[in-house]
Structure 1
Amino acid sequence: MFGVTYLHQDIKRGCQVDKKAPNYIHFLAKQLLSIILYTMVRSTAAAFALVAAAGSVSAISMTGTHLLAARAVPQDYLTAHNNERAGHGASALVWDSGLASTAQAWANQCNFSHNQAGQNLYAATGNPSAASAVGAWNAESKDYNPSNPQPSHWTQVVWKSTTKVGCALATCAAGTIFPANYPASYYVCNYSPYGNVIGQFPQNVQK
């Protein structure tokens, strides 16, 4: 999106060049190249839209993948989790690339439902950070009642016997998670050993 906008603006500014300038031919050549590049970017964007509309962004270009990765790196997820865990008597989690890979595979399907035990999901419009996703789960702590423990995203975050986490982010097309016109940022975190085991809340969740 940003590349398309940038190239389009360059073309508009170029139209203001004096046609009598000595380098006008060179200018025309540069504009032709810009138009070609603009067309290529538009075509790539259209191809991505078709892939996303099919419910998956697994075929996104490497550039797009890197842009998503830049929005959320492992340390972002770990910091958000471990800061919360530290306040509830749980040891710090470590990153697990295998869990992250399975989380990415699930996120790429843009299916907002759990595929296994020990998994937290978060989806929102716009570009929320990893900290925002984990923060939404942590906000559920206010609803936890130790005398009547119920599983939640937050209880998985602070579950004491969980030692590893792996997370991923996907951008999902409008209509896949939210209604038409609302694309989604979709976060998935997988945990091991998984938490929220009935009968084990007292020893694993410290309010």
Structure 2
Amino acid sequence: MRPFTIAAFAAAVNAFPAPYGNNHDAAPAAVTVTDYTDVYTTVYEDEPAEPAAPTTSVAAATTYKNEDWKPKTTPDAPVVVVSETPVHEAPAATTPVVSSAPVPEAPATTPVVTPVVSPAPAPASSSPAVSAAAKAPNDYAQKCVDHHNAHRLNHSVDAIAWDDALAATALKIAKSCIYAHDTKMDGGGYGQNIAAGCPASNISSVITELFYNNEVGNFASLYGQATPSNINDEAAFDGYGHFTQIVWKGTTKVGCATYHCDGGLANTGGNVSPDFTVCNYQSPGNYIGQFAKNVSPPGKFPIIHWNTGLKFQ
């Protein structure tokens, strides 16, 4: 069996401020995740005001490529999971910067076209009970919400809610089959996390392993800082930006979609399984000067994983 690669990055967009540059969900037996590709990051200089309505007005973003990024692995997990870095990009009048990333070969078998589906994983024996359950319209959406909220609860912030409009926009972007963030679709004004190479059945691993577990430790010394001291170090920020978006207090809504691009996924080098996941957030996080009040330290709950049974009450 030849391994395939998951690639991911995140983008946050808002029509108001200018940007300041700078283990898996029941993975199929035939799939072994071994690596991730490089990503991009942008953060915001000012906290966004809640827009009354979507706007197409955008500001230029500065993005960085981490050429020397190497994945971390979790050898004891059912699959090897590594961290990714977020791309945060302000809604710009110019086209967001994207890049094709070299990746390992895809598996010999070709996944079936699967637009936004979500097979249920087998829960682990550990089942922490968490509060503030948010209802979602289907199993895929519920897993997205539950895995976001398990982490948000542990960081003392309110539960995030599923938003059909954000999800519909995410699906439009995923169906483009171009691995790039698009933060202008349907008026913009949202943040965005993007992943490639991971099917819809693995959505909980994207959120919990890729975006949270592999980044939360990188922020350990930065709690309480309005602006993280290493924010200008692109490699450092690349290591925690997904995590901070997930637990950002000011973010209240999320909508995700995963689409299998049967004809291939552009900008991935051709060796990534062409499953494109897009999660849109309202409002976006990672604003300069606003980290202290939006990113709280973790609490008493244990770290969960892709296969942890979650009970919301």
Aligned to 2:281: 191
Aligned to 1:46: none
- Give the one of 123, 131, 151 matched to 2:196: 123
Letter in 2 for 1:120: N
CA distance in 2, matches of 1:204, 1:106: 28
- Aligned Cα root-mean-square deviation (Å): 2.4
Q: Secondary structure at the match of 2:172?
A: helix
Matched, 1:132 2:180: no
CA distance in 1, matches of 2:199, 2:171: 19
Letter in 2 for 1:142: G
Deviations 1:122-157 (A, max 9, x none): 112566511011021002112123342646111110
Aligned to 2:118: 70
With over 3 angstroms needed to count, the CA separation of the structure-2 counterparts of 1:81 and 1:175, relative to structure 1, is: closer
With over 3 angstroms needed to count, the CA separation of the structure-2 counterparts of 1:142 and 1:109, relative to structure 1, is: same
Aligned to 2:294: 204
CA distance in 1, matches of 2:264, 2:207: 23
Which is helix-richer, 1 or 2?
A: 1
- Give the one of 156, 165, 172 matched to 1:89: 156
CA distance in 2, matches of 1:124, 1:76: 18
Asked if the contact 1:110/1:186 (under 8 Å) is kept, the reply is yes
Letter in 1 for 2:279: C
Aligned to 2:218: 143
Larger Rg belongs to:
1
Matched, 1:104 2:178: no
With over 3 angstroms needed to count, the CA separation of the structure-2 counterparts of 1:142 and 1:199, relative to structure 1, is: same
CA distance in 2, matches of 1:109, 1:124: 15
The number of aligned residues is: 144
1:184 deviates by: 2.2
Q: Secondary structure at the match of 1:80?
A: helix
Aligned to 1:167: 256
TM-score w.r.t. structure 2 length?
0.42
Q: Which runs of 5+ in 2 are unaligned?
A: 1-111, 120-138, 184-189, 232-236, 298-313
Aligned to 1:37: none
CA distance in 2, matches of 1:129, 1:191: 19
Q: Secondary structure at the match of 1:165?
A: strand
Asked if the contact 1:128/1:185 (under 8 Å) is kept, the reply is no
With over 3 angstroms needed to count, the CA separation of the structure-2 counterparts of 1:166 and 1:126, relative to structure 1, is: closer
Letter in 2 for 1:171: H
Percentage of pairs with the same residue: 34
- Give the one of 79, 96, 116 matched to 2:146: 79
TM-score w.r.t. structure 1 length?
0.61
CA distance in 1, matches of 2:161, 2:168: 15
With over 3 angstroms needed to count, the CA separation of the structure-2 counterparts of 1:163 and 1:175, relative to structure 1, is: closer
Letter in 1 for 2:211: W
1:99 deviates by: 0.4
With over 3 angstroms needed to count, the CA separation of the structure-2 counterparts of 1:201 and 1:79, relative to structure 1, is: same
Letter in 2 for 1:154: F
With over 3 angstroms needed to count, the CA separation of the structure-2 counterparts of 1:95 and 1:103, relative to structure 1, is: same
With over 3 angstroms needed to count, the CA separation of the structure-2 counterparts of 1:79 and 1:175, relative to structure 1, is: closer
Aligned to 1:155: 244
